[in-house]
Amino acid sequence: LAPPHIILRRALIEGRQLPNIARDIGLFMARTLFRGSDLHMPTKDRKADLALFADNVELCGITEDLVFTDPYFDAKLNRHTSPQLDGLVAELRADRDLKVEAQRLKHLFAANAETLLHGDLHSGSIMVTDTETRMIDPEFAFYGPIAFDVGMLLANFWMSFFSQRGHEDKGRRDAMRAYLLGVTNETWAVFRAEFSVLWRSERTGMLYQRSLFEDQGDILAAEQALDHVLHQIWTDLLGFAGIEVHRRILGLAHNADFETIADEDVRASCEAKALKFGRHIAVNRRQIYSIDEVNS
């Protein structure tokens, strides 16, 4: 894309408060993820398409190992801010609950072909102006759980939040931090609202069919099922988000949000907070019920 579009990650590092990203990204995720699943698409079309993407195993393999496994042991390609984080990193790599949870999430990610994902939906895969938001880099696209795209995206907003402390050389970033928490909140709210609209208007696939619910006059049953589905997405996205934070600080592929912080002590301090946050939301994800709990 030609200028004035810039990479969202870059804009957030510069402290720009883009007014439309939460709404645009929330709508994008709800629409693509809902419509690519058996909630909307004829299942034979989804399965035929899934077979086409099944040979994207090399890129999937990258995600699977780099994201879910390598950060949690002393893998060859790993790096982290050292020696400042050495103690915390050793602690996380000895953290049984965390490692088991990371593998359960890998299991879910690898086995669950619920919808066609973007597959690499972080703030470096989004280009923005003040009025436009465009998703790029779909080469990791494949079938996986709805919660994966949403979790990775929110994780990148949370990492931006934790990295702001390292970008205060030209002034405090309190307003930017508040903006970023607002963005996570609004993105999730827009996603849920749009997903609910589609649930009520475009639920034409083989799952949760109207013949069982609305057609029998039981609209509340369909709403109860929607609550379950959204709660499952929420629980799983927290796990994927926590693991995404970890792999960006402990693994091979780091984020410019932290990497551009020149002072290594400041960077390590930002990263340590993010690592602990990631551990909390991944391990305790079944006991966290709202994004307000996460953001407070």
Assigned token pair, 259: 């990497």
Closer residue to its own copies (CB): 41 or 183 = 41
**Minimum gap (Å) between residue 194 Cβ and its own copies:** 19
- Site of interaction with its own copies (CB under 8 A): 37-38, 43-44, 47-48, 50-51, 54-55, 57-58, 60-61, 64-65, 69, 72-73, 75, 93-94, 96, 99-100, 102-104, 106-107, 110-114, 145, 206-209, 211-213, 215-216, 218, 220-221, 224-225, 228-229
Q: Do residues 183 and 16 make contact, with C-beta atoms less than 8 angstroms apart? A: no
Phi first, then psi: give them for residue 245, nearest 5 degrees: -60, -45
Closer residue to its own copies (CB): 102 or 237 = 102
Give the whole-angstrom CA distance, residue 17 versus residue 138: 25
Closer residue to its own copies (CB): 39 or 275 = 39
Assigned token pair, 295: 């953001």
**Minimum gap (Å) between residue 82 Cβ and its own copies:** 19
Closer residue to its own copies (CB): 97 or 132 = 97
**Minimum gap (Å) between residue 114 Cβ and its own copies:** 4
Nearest Cα neighbor of 45 from 150, 116, 111, 109 is 116
Is the torsion defined by CA of 38, 40, 44, 50 positive or negative?
A: negative
Give the whole-angstrom CA distance, residue 194 versus residue 28: 9
**Minimum gap (Å) between residue 220 Cβ and its own copies:** 7
Closer residue to its own copies (CB): 3 or 217 = 217
**Minimum gap (Å) between residue 52 Cβ and its own copies:** 8
Q: Do residues 161 and 195 make contact, with C-beta atoms less than 8 angstroms apart? A: no
80-105 core/surface letters (b: 16 or more CB in 10 A; e: else): bbeebbeebbeebeeeeebbebbeeb
Is the torsion defined by CA of 229, 235, 241, 246 positive or negative?
A: negative
**Minimum gap (Å) between residue 209 Cβ and its own copies:** 6
Closer residue to its own copies (CB): 143 or 162 = 143
